[in-house]
């Protein structure tokens, strides 16, 4: 065996080892992730946000929604049960110079979705009209009406109005691991901050495989 093939083989073995370690660290089969999903209004309906609340900048007259639930990915995520009705939520709030008004809907989900030892603080969604700076984000609007907020070290939204008290987008195990054909496909919005990505492990495997191929090709040219 040549030195080039030995190096490529060593990289492949290393990549396989990393994948094995990642797989061992994850639950045998994640039924989904327990997290706050972020939604934006579009023609009177909720659409899964393609970016996180810290970067989304809704306009005056928009509505944003947050729903706590157990979901596999953005395609499976549960929408807020209250409609994005800006006119109703902000009917009594006038626009001031240099500001904008945003209707905020917070849906704490159901008892089934709650972490162990906790319960949703409200049985039905809450709505409020946030008046924020004209350049404010959806996160600013949420902070104006639903503090305290809790974030993790990567700026992922973990808790709204103190709920839940612990945890942040953790995977919830449920039964044996699915086959490759049965694994859910990640939706387009998963990688843009709307919520945890169910395809993270698969994506890591693809990166490692491409890296092994690149090293082998570069050494062949040497």
Q: What is the pLDDT along the chain (222 residues), one digit of tens a residue?
A: 554 444 444 434 444 443 333 344 444 455 789 999 999 999 999 999 999 999 999 999 999 999 999 987 777 789 999 999 999 999 999 989 999 999 999 999 999 999 999 999 999 999 999 999 999 999 999 999 999 999 999 989 999 999 999 999 989 876 443 333 233 333 333 334 444 433 323 233 323 333 333 333 344 444
- In residues, how long is the chain? 222
Strands 62-71 and 99-107: parallel
Does residue 49 sit in the same domain as residue 117? yes
Total domain count, the chain: 2
Quote the domain boundaries for residue 88.
31-192
> Distance between CA 47 and CA 66 in Å, rounded?
11
Does residue 48 sit in the same domain as residue 132? yes
> Distance between CA 60 and CA 101 in Å, rounded?
5
Does residue 170 sit in the same domain as residue 126? yes
Does residue 62 sit in the same domain as residue 86? yes
pLDDT, position 30 = 56
Q: Is the pTM of this model over 0.85?
A: no
pLDDT, position 132 = 98
Q: What is the C-alpha radius of gyration for the chain, rounded to an integer number of angstroms? A: 22
Taking 3-state DSSP, the helix, strand and coil percentages for the chain, each rounded to the nearest 5, stand at 30, 25, 45
Does residue 175 sit in the same domain as residue 216? no
Using an 8 Å Cβ cutoff, are 77 and 71 in contact?
yes
Does residue 205 sit in the same domain as residue 141? no
pLDDT, position 72 = 79
Does residue 60 sit in the same domain as residue 75? yes
pLDDT, position 219 = 42
Does residue 122 sit in the same domain as residue 214? no
Does residue 97 sit in the same domain as residue 181? yes
Does residue 8 sit in the same domain as residue 63? no
Does residue 10 sit in the same domain as residue 94? no
């Amino acid at each position: 065996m040549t030195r080039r093939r030995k190096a490529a083989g060593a990289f492949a073995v290393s990549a396989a080892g990393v994948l094995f370690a990642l797989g061992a660290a994850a639950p045998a089969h994640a039924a989904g992730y327990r997290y706050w999903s972020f939604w934006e209004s579009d023609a009177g309906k909720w659409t899964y946000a393609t970016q996180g609340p810290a970067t989304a900048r809704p306009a005056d007259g928009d509505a944003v929604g947050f729903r706590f639930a157990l979901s596999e990915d953005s395609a499976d995520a549960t929408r807020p049960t209250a409609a994005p009705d800006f006119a109703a939520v902000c009917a009594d709030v006038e626009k001031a110079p240099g500001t904008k008004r945003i209707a905020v809907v917070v849906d704490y989900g159901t008892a089934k979705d709650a972490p162990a030892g906790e319960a949703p603080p409200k049985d039905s969604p809450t709505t409020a009209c946030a008046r924020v700076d004209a350049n404010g984000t959806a996160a600013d609007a949420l902070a104006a009406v639903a503090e305290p907020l809790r974030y993790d070290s990567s700026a992922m939204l973990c808790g709204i109005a103190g709920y839940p008290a612990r945890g942040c987008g953790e995977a919830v195990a449920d039964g044996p691991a699915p086959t490759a054909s049965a694994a859910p496909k990640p939706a387009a919005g998963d990688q843009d901050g709307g919520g945890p990505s169910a395809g993270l492990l698969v994506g890591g495997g693809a990166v490692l495989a491409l890296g092994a191929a690149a090293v082998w090709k570069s050494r062949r040219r040497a």
